[in-house]
Amino acid sequence: MPSNKAVSAPGYARDTPTRPTVWPGNAYPLGATYDGGGTNFALFSEVAESVELCLIDEDGTESRIALDEVDGYVWHAYLPSVHPGQRYGFRVHGPFDPAAGHRCDPSKLLLDPYGKAFDGDFDFGPALFSYDMAAPDSDTLPMIDSLGHTMTSVVINPYFDWQSDRAPRTPYHETVIYEAHVKGMTQTHPGVPEELRGTYAGLAHPAIIDHLKSLNVTAIELMPVHQFMHDQRLLEMGLRNYWGYNTFGFFAPHNQYASQRQPGGAVAEFKTMVRTFHEEGIEVILDVVYNHTAEGNHLGPTINFRGIDNAAYYRLDDNDPRFYKDFTGTGNSLNARHPHTLQLIMDSLRYWVTEMHVDGFRFDLAATLARELHDVDRLSAFFDLVQQDPIVSQVKLIAEPWDVGEGGYQVGNFPGLWTEWNGKYRDTVRDYWRGEPATLGEFASRLTGSSDLYEATGRRPSASINFVTCHDGFTLNDLVSYNEKHNEANGEDNRDGESYNRSWNCGVEGPTDDPDILALRARQMRNILATLMLSQGTPMIAHGDEMGRTQQGNNNVYCQDSELSWMDWSLADKNADLLTFTRKATRLRRDHPVFRRRRFFEGEPIRSREQVCDIAWLTPSGREMTHEDWGTEFGKSIAVFLNGDAIPEPDARGERVVDDSFLLCFNAHDDVVEFIAPHSRYAAEWTAELDTTHPTGDGGLVVGAGQKISLPARSLLVLRKTA
């Protein structure tokens, strides 16, 4: 039978000759806070019966200090002798009763949930686990001390010279997001000094920033940089948790991405990186994982939350609290219903905005945060807190609007402040360009900002984060080169990763020397990139797509910390034409507000004197689409007129926005289609600005009203009104 009594760690000695001076301190802020004279420590645990602060010397010697002050379940003390660089942890004495959801184990040196930095590593030996690994179903507590087998928390110096740093605050409708991985982006770049590759400093190097600016990127969205753990299973297979969706430190930048490896060095280096990006007008958005932690299911290690207050921090099975509810597919789900867990999330978000100066967040599996009971609830406590928070509510908030639980697909259902990764945009654009039937209607909706998803909630086109590829799935090159995933390198017999990718290999699976297939693949990549930049909404480019990065058909490189997943910068020369094309497409979007309207199209004249609507949908013959045209099962070709003289919203100075008008000709057919330039009331003359049949998108074609345009198979032509 399990014991529900408090248990004590072996070798405990409350009073020692070296015991430092201890003052009562404060219950707020939580964590370790250095004020220039000493450090305040505060830890929440409602279940604890006593808590010890453990100071760890460089040689591993531990000094334990009882936290005798408790206010509102927060255990605290102030130590005037403790300064930045001090390693520490906690031991929590309380009930070990898995059947009741309690897993206190004072033999474990527990990491600070509010830790700003960490040092050391995990060895994944028996000391990390609060059960007998030979009999995992037993409720016997082995009491093996984890000191020396786990990481330690580190007190940091919060001071940093931000100089004249200012947040760019780029409006959503002017934003172009670039999703990137700190290590993957920099590991092989020849212009980044070797000692800086794979680091925050490397990411802020001029060679990387120049590349981003050449793409007209306004925001870099970093894959997880909160301190995370490499899974034991992966390490035993010779792999690593490359993506980093395995957080245990929600306040600390991941220390392995720091070029300066001294304890706490990652904090200053991260801040320097943000300051440098801001100097160049680029925002920094973090991909954050508040839906689960690295401790996994009931067989996972005890490193912090589990041993501090398991029932408060995690969603437990209502019928058997020894097990965890898992809406994430990772073994556990954070309990966003508990006030202290909500506080942890909100404190973390505010910290990264106020102290680290980041500009926004992309929330991994955000639907999990909204679960009050079983269903996803738009009015959950988390959303209420974000809505009223004067700091968090003012930065970019991007949801991955799904999780793996029942009813977890919530695209279009997030509150007004939020933007969303639009999975429907991704699927529709993929289907259209690979030639799926009956896609015209939905393609039109996605191209114009997905009003069916966002307009009813008062949101604007920018609420749709438009993407076709991201870290999760095929790269753009692989999307047009593989019909099937090829994840054998992951060691799971190709069972992992999405099996339905809406991809098309253009006739041959994988690498080929066939020039016709290679030309078609290159054109398809240009088609997709151009569509992304011409769509209303907020575009996101996956790192490396601009130069044809491949993962050799692996659509789940979460464990591949290798050249398979890193950016191959030699492609910048090998695929120079694609890079040039991408720059041209992003510049076209930047220079023309008609492609980044702040409001949805109305489909009718904005002012009575106008003869032309703000948007018109035309058949290849140049006439306006009818209901029957939209319902054509095999319709693959369409022209779209965008009226630059019918943009209703004013600019930042309140002046009317006037732009050129454009005609977009889409041909997803497998044969040439003859388009006819529409009636002269649209334009008397058109000049090509972007042509996906050309490797670099060069235009130059000039046509008059009523003239024929021969558009090759699977191509896109952008025409600008010039008369």
Task: Give, in order, the Cα–Cα distances in Å from 272 to each of 32, 205, 258.
Answer: 22, 11, 11
**Residues β-bridged to residue 687:** 702, 720
Measured torsion, CA atoms of residues 113, 115, 117, 121, in degrees rounded to the nearest 10: -40
DSSP string, 3-15: --SB---TT--S-
User: Would you call 650 exposed, middle or buried from its count of C-beta atoms within 10 A (0-12, 13-18, 19+)?
Assistant: exposed
Distance of alpha carbon 139 from the chain centroid: 38
CA distance 285 to 274: 10
**Could you tell me the two tokens for 507?**
């006739």
CB contact at 8 A, 313 and 341: yes
Q: What is the DSSP letter of 663?
A: E
Alpha helices in 290-422 (DSSP H): 305-313, 339-354, 381-388
The shares of helix, strand and coil residues in the chain, as percent rounded to the nearest 5, are 25, 20, 55
CB neighbour burial string for 381-418, b if at least 16 within 10 angstroms, e if fewer:
bbbebbeeeeebeebbbbbbbbbebeebbbbbbbbebb
Distance of alpha carbon 288 from the chain centroid: 6
Q: What is the DSSP letter of 228?
A: E
Catalytic annotation, residues? 364, 400
Q: What is the DSSP letter of 364?
A: T
β-pair type (360-363, 396-399): parallel
β-pair type (702-704, 685-691): antiparallel
Measured torsion, CA atoms of residues 62, 63, 68, 72, in degrees rounded to the nearest 10: -40
